[in-house]
Structure 1
């Protein structure tokens, strides 16, 4: 026990990584518990159409944010000037300008989007929801500095505190308003609370408006590929909602999102951990420098993949039972959705620890190539699946797209000398066993979804 505790103490990279891993994993798990509790209550206060409406709004908001992402956060995390205040203030200035432009864009898109989806209420909701993008633009770079140095304790505590308060506010608004506006208003309040908490409780200098040419050139040079990558990343991560939201009714789309929320918990958690933890780790211990660094990263990779596959496998096997226990009969179809989404995410979990290797070395161009390939494959397979197999076909298509993207991941990982074929072979076998077990155990529910 003493040896275990000693690994968490001190300021060494290993100690910071261990502490940050615990805080990140624990914080994310607690955040999802709060989100699930809120979700369970809100499904009894609001109708499925409200969740479908907000799912569309969320996709559009994320699309705006990702289509304009210039890589400020990863640039701060990997740059040699990541602790220079002039560099940080220039980055913050770019971030604020971006936030203002995003809100104006949300206002301009409101009527066209409402017309496209045949939902007049979207014309009012989008400009209001866009206020959150404006507020988020003022978040201090102290957030990125904490991630850069793997100092996650206080940050995790602040995020959980704000989320707990937001859950209470959202439930109260849903009970009082009984409409989708409860979710919109609570989102704005949450962004204000986050901004206030970061400014008051995170250590470091306050940001001010500044434009240093050298810093701006570095940020833009690195960020141009991140900008293109996040456009592709949006299509890759949110393409299902854009297409499924168009093909299905709002009620069906709301049910799909209930299933997606539960099934994607492990993958989203793993993505967040790799994004926050692996760039600093790859930066300070590049696998190309020594076999010792490669072995150290290999151990981390095996452990992280094992945890994510165990969680995802559990959800894929027990998805129908969980939905039956937690939700009322209106959401029963979500059980089969959980099973298939979790099973089809196995290829993504297999390779998620490789993706940050390129960014840690400043190679945002190769990261863009991977993102573009994934976007094309995902949208193509998703559309074909929807066209010929409905929702069932779309879910299978996502799994096929994940497999087809594997050569591109290997290409990126090999260039950074991070590829680990032993890891991939072992966990490919594990993933295949999990998929077969999930489909066998939930055959009736999956067959019913396929027949619709």
Structure 2
């Protein structure tokens, strides 16, 4: 890298912090996914497919509990004027800690009814134990939110990777010793405990304490009430396919789908992670509606991000079926075409993923909720119809249709903050369509085989 290039990474300017944070976030995500993939390769040889299907259900339920009670603490600290106020931070920590305990109680109460709903009696015992992670996450320090606000994410990323690695090692050892799904449950709780402990011990700054400031609580809940509703809809939009498909498929087949989901989600998850961690501070400090220069900087950023992510989808489309055959045994062979279909159906989400953060940066959580509601309804309707008419392939195609139907709402929201960029959308809409067509042509036989096997 040239001296000029290196100079752009130094200093405390918004651009330098944004670039450094994007690099750290991307590097941590890539490393984390590599660790997760390596762990999956080992665990798929130690455990049975039903174990992965069962843990996929547990993950969906835990995510649902988390989203159905989101108070918007992280987003509030990232954009609020009082974010550096100690009383404000202590109140936010107290709200978060109370929420964690309530979530664990909810996981205990829901364990038996959900075991009946999904036909998985093991959930009765597993959910209360897995729910202990929710108590632990409620004890995370607010220093994480401050690091996000100030785009200082290097140490946060390193600690996340260390905890992930520790949890995976524990899981592999327990799976080797027991051959039981409990290896994944216990390692999840211990990995979370390790992550929270590392954050408290190694993140710089003053520690929080349980305290209450009435004014701070009102400000947090005023912003958070729409975040609460938005995250409910966000959960449905993000997990609705797995909830519906989990009811449609046997646990073993759902475990195979979950492997495909994990592989296909790499570009989409990376883009959303960078957007959620970096864009709110950028939109807050350099609003696109404020000047043409701000808008053009954001356009350049969008072009680079979209090119990288759509390029990942294209590469994945060429190699993923071969990669699945190479890395996994015959029980998981259908994960290849599942990955291919999911990756190209998520292209519409990739093209528009930078828009919704502009609303949160302006404190407009209400309209952000409206967008997530539209997404949730589109996913539920399109996936349900796809399942009814074409089985699993139909459900996957339904996700792509839902992304297209959501686009007008994306435009409506982004225009309010001056963030909408039709030039970007036309360019990468065309590129994405070409990539999707090429991948479908290249894997037509594998996709047809998946359709005949699952319909």
TM-score band, normalised by shorter chain? over 0.9
Q: Does 1:72 find its partner at 2:73?
A: yes
CA distance in 1, matches of 2:321, 2:165: 28
SS in 1 for 2:81: coil
Is the CA contact 1:358–1:366 (under 8 Å) kept in the aligned structure 2?
A: yes
Which residue number in structure 2 is paired with residue 211 of structure 1? 212
Which residues of 2 match residues 262-277 of structure 1 at below 5 A?
262-277=263-278
* Count of residue correspondences: 452
CA distance in 1, matches of 2:418, 2:295: 8
Which residue number in structure 2 is paired with residue 106 of structure 1? 107
Is the CA contact 2:163–2:192 (under 8 Å) kept in the aligned structure 1?
A: no
Which residues of 2 match residues 369-384 of structure 1 at below 5 A?
369-384=370-385
Regions of 4+ moved over 2 Å: 316-319
Which residues of 2 match residues 48-447 of structure 1 at below 5 A?
48-447=49-448
Give deviations 1:53-72, integer Å, cap 9, x for gaps: 00000000000000000100
CA distance in 2, matches of 1:118, 1:36: 28
Is the CA contact 1:305–1:349 (under 8 Å) kept in the aligned structure 2?
A: yes
Displacement of 1:84 in angstroms is: 1.0
Displacement of 1:451 in angstroms is: 1.8
Give deviations 1:382-424, integer Å, cap 9, x for gaps: 0000111110100010000000000000000001100000000
CA distance in 2, matches of 1:114, 1:324: 33
CA distance in 1, matches of 2:315, 2:366: 36
Q: Gaps (5+ residues) in structure 2?
A: none
CA distance in 2, matches of 1:383, 1:224: 29
Is the CA contact 2:227–2:365 (under 8 Å) kept in the aligned structure 1?
A: yes
Displacement of 1:318 in angstroms is: 2.3
CA distance in 2, matches of 1:284, 1:24: 20
Q: Gaps (5+ residues) in structure 1?
A: none
Is the CA contact 1:233–1:371 (under 8 Å) kept in the aligned structure 2?
A: yes
Question: TM-score under structure 1 normalisation?
Answer: 0.99
Displacement of 1:153 in angstroms is: 1.0
SS in 2 for 1:353: coil
CA distance in 1, matches of 2:120, 2:34: 32
CA distance in 1, matches of 2:186, 2:228: 29
Is the CA contact 1:263–1:341 (under 8 Å) kept in the aligned structure 2?
A: yes
Displacement of 1:213 in angstroms is: 1.2
Is the CA contact 1:229–1:367 (under 8 Å) kept in the aligned structure 2?
A: yes
CA distance in 1, matches of 2:89, 2:178: 41
CA distance in 1, matches of 2:239, 2:409: 20
Is the CA contact 1:8–1:18 (under 8 Å) kept in the aligned structure 2?
A: yes
Displacement of 1:85 in angstroms is: 1.1
CA distance in 1, matches of 2:411, 2:144: 31
CA distance in 1, matches of 2:445, 2:320: 13
Give deviations 1:217-259, integer Å, cap 9, x for gaps: 1111100000000000000000011110001000110000000
CA distance in 2, matches of 1:276, 1:139: 17
SS in 2 for 1:244: helix
Is the CA contact 1:280–1:360 (under 8 Å) kept in the aligned structure 2?
A: yes
SS in 2 for 1:286: coil
Which residues of 2 match residues 13-32 of structure 1 at below 5 A?
13-32=14-33
Question: TM-score under structure 2 normalisation?
Answer: 0.99
CA distance in 2, matches of 1:163, 1:59: 19
CA distance in 1, matches of 2:166, 2:71: 31
